[in-house]
């Protein structure tokens, strides 16, 4: 494994305000981020309020699989680029569940993002029932193959975020050992498609990451960062997570 800098992605979901943006700008400017890359993914209306500097970059929470046209409420790759976005979250479980996004749509979105020069953060993960039925690896393999089996060239330009659905916003997190075992499986599975890309790709853990559990998660060899939800809305706690990733 050759991954160096850790990557922290803040998914604000449908939360935030201009005041919070200002607080986050000031907080991140006051801490060292020399060995960690930070991506903030706020609602679209807040993107232009952020200060993009140093290792802090912007991300979006969704992207259309279409380049332009009559798609009310959607956002294209070109529009995201004009908003100074670098990364885009694709396939989050909330999009899969609430918006009924299919594996085929998600694969198309990853392709569109990469072709535009954006870095897709592909979210994968199992439900509690699937874990209890010991189907975690089966589910994750299917989600990965749906995107990369027929287009493995996209793998080298992607980030993968493993988010067990049962841990998102619940306060329950996978143990460091559980998360590491799944991340190791992901890397091994991807190596079947592109060994070098699998060695270099950043694998993020998401699912109730906070200031208390982040250090133990970052200590695992195949966890290269985190996709942070609720804790990223608290500037001080997110700064603590950034500092832990820096160590």
**Does 173 score more than 80 pLDDT?**
no
The CATH number for 6-246, chosen from 3.20.20.70, 3.90.650.10, 3.90.470.20, 3.90.1300.10, is: 3.20.20.70
- The token duo for 35 is 């060995």
Partners of residue 173 on adjacent β-strands? none
214 pLDDT band (50/70/90 cuts)?
Answer: very high
Select from 155, 153, 171, 173 the least CA-distant residue to 163.
173
**Does 136 score more than 70 pLDDT?**
yes
Contact (Cβ atoms closer than 8 angstroms) between residue 163 and residue 209: no
The reported pLDDT for the residue numbered 3 is 52
Partners of residue 8 on adjacent β-strands? 38, 226
229 is in an annotated binding site: yes
Contact (Cβ atoms closer than 8 angstroms) between residue 43 and residue 14: yes
Q: Is 49 annotated in the active site?
A: no
5 pLDDT band (50/70/90 cuts)?
Answer: confident
The CA–CA distances, whole Å, from 142 to 98, 135, 189 equal 20, 11, 11
200 is in an annotated binding site: no
The reported pLDDT for the residue numbered 213 is 93
The reported pLDDT for the residue numbered 167 is 77
Render pLDDT for 180-192 as a digit per residue (tens, 0 to 9): 999 999 999 999 9
17 pLDDT band (50/70/90 cuts)?
Answer: very high
208 is in an annotated binding site: yes
**Does 1 score more than 70 pLDDT?**
no
Per-position DSSP letters for 182-227, written without gaps between them: HHHHHHHHHHTT-HHHHHH--EEEESS--TTTHHHHHTSTT--EEE
Please report, for the chain, the start and end positions of each structural domain, with discontinuous segments joined by +: 6-246
The reported pLDDT for the residue numbered 52 is 84
Which helix (H) or strand (E) segment is 181 a member of?
A: helix 176-191
73 is in an annotated binding site: no
210 is in an annotated binding site: no
What average pLDDT does this structure show over 80-93?
97
Of 92, 101, 126, 183, which residue is the catalytic one?
92
Of 94, 101, 126, 163, which residue is the catalytic one?
163
The reported pLDDT for the residue numbered 4 is 66
135 is in an annotated binding site: no
What average pLDDT does this structure show over 220-246?
95
- The pTM score is 0.95
**Does 20 score more than 80 pLDDT?**
yes
The reported pLDDT for the residue numbered 93 is 93
**Does 85 score more than 70 pLDDT?**
yes
207 pLDDT band (50/70/90 cuts)?
Answer: confident
The burial of 236, by beta-carbon neighbours within 10 Å (0-12 exposed, 13-18 middle, 19 or more buried), is given as exposed
Render pLDDT for 23-41 as a digit per residue (tens, 0 to 9): 999 999 998 888 899 999 9
13 is in an annotated binding site: yes
Q: Which residue has the higher pLDDT, 172 or 202?
A: 202
Q: Is 163 annotated in the active site?
A: yes
Largest Cα–Cα separation, the chain? 47
The reported pLDDT for the residue numbered 121 is 98
The reported pLDDT for the residue numbered 9 is 98
The reported pLDDT for the residue numbered 53 is 82
- Pairing type for strands 203-206 and 119-124 reads unpaired
Which helix (H) or strand (E) segment is 88 a member of?
A: strand 85-90
**Does 170 score more than 80 pLDDT?**
no
What average pLDDT does this structure show over 8-21?
97
In the predicted model, what is the mean pLDDT of the chain?
A: 94
């Amino acid at each position: 494994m050759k991954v160096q800098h850790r990557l922290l992605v803040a998914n604000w979901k449908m939360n935030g305000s201009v005041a919070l943006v200002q607080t986050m700008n000031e907080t991140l400017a006051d801490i060292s981020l020399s060995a960690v890359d930070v991506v903030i993914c706020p609602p679209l209306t807040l993107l232009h309020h952020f200060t993009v500097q140093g290792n802090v970059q912007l991300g979006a929470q969704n992207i259309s699989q279409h380049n332009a046209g009559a798609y009310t409420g959607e956002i294209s790759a070109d529009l995201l680029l004009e908003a100074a976005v670098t990364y885009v979250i694709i396939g989050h479980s909330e999009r899969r569940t609430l918006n009924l996004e299919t594996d085929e749509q998600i694969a198309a979105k990853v392709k569109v993002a990469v072709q535009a020069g954006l870095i897709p953060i592909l979210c994968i993960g199992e439900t509690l029932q699937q874990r209890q039925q010991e189907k975690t690896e089966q589910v994750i393999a299917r989600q990965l193959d749906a995107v990369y089996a027929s287009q493995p060239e996209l793998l080298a330009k992607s980030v993968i975020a493993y988010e067990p659905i049962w841990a998102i916003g619940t306060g329950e997190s996978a143990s460091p050992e559980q998360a590491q075992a799944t991340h190791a499986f992901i890397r091994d599975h991807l190596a079947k498609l592109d060994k070098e890309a699998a060695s270099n790709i950043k694998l993020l853990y998401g699912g109730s990451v906070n200031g208390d559990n982040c250090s133990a998660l970052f200590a695992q060899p195949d966890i290269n960062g985190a996709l942070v939800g609720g804790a990223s809305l608290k500037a001080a706690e997110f700064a603590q997570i950034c500092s832990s990733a820096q160590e």
